[in-house]
Amino acid sequence: MEIKIEHQPSQEHLHNLGVFAWDIWEKEISKFPWTYDSQETCYFLAGNVIVTPDGGQPVKMGQGDLVIFPAGMSCTWEITSDVKKHYFFD
């Protein structure tokens, strides 16, 4: 299971996905465990995060990144600057 990151995707790609119609999630600096029951695609409007899959390597992501988290993945989220993102669960 791997986290897929597209850095600075084009506005056209984001519009084709319908990103700007997705719900928004915001969270302050914090650290917490998370498990994905279904695949999540998200686009970071602000903030920086280090996501460490259980038994895996830390992955950095943040503002301007389009990220896909696989269903069934357990991880730890460490928000290093306040996050605001659009998100969609498949």
What does pTM read for this prediction? 0.96
Is the backbone of residue 74 left (phi > 0), alpha (psi -120 to 50) or beta?
Answer: beta
> How far, in Å, CA of 87 to CA of 23, rounded?
6
The whole domain housing 14 covers: 4-89
Is the backbone of residue 64 left (phi > 0), alpha (psi -120 to 50) or beta?
Answer: left
For the cut 90, the answer to whether the pLDDT of residue 89 exceeds it is yes
Residue among 60, 54, 55 nearest 80 (CA): 60
Encode pLDDT of 7-50 as tens digits: 999 999 999 999 999 999 999 999 999 999 999 999 999 999 99
Structurally, the chain folds into a number of domains equal to: 1
pLDDT at site 43: 98
Average pLDDT score, the chain: 97
- State the CATH number of the domain containing residue 46: 2.60.120.10
Encode pLDDT of 68-84 as tens digits: 999 999 999 999 999 99
pLDDT at site 28: 98
pLDDT at site 1: 81
Is the backbone of residue 35 left (phi > 0), alpha (psi -120 to 50) or beta?
Answer: beta
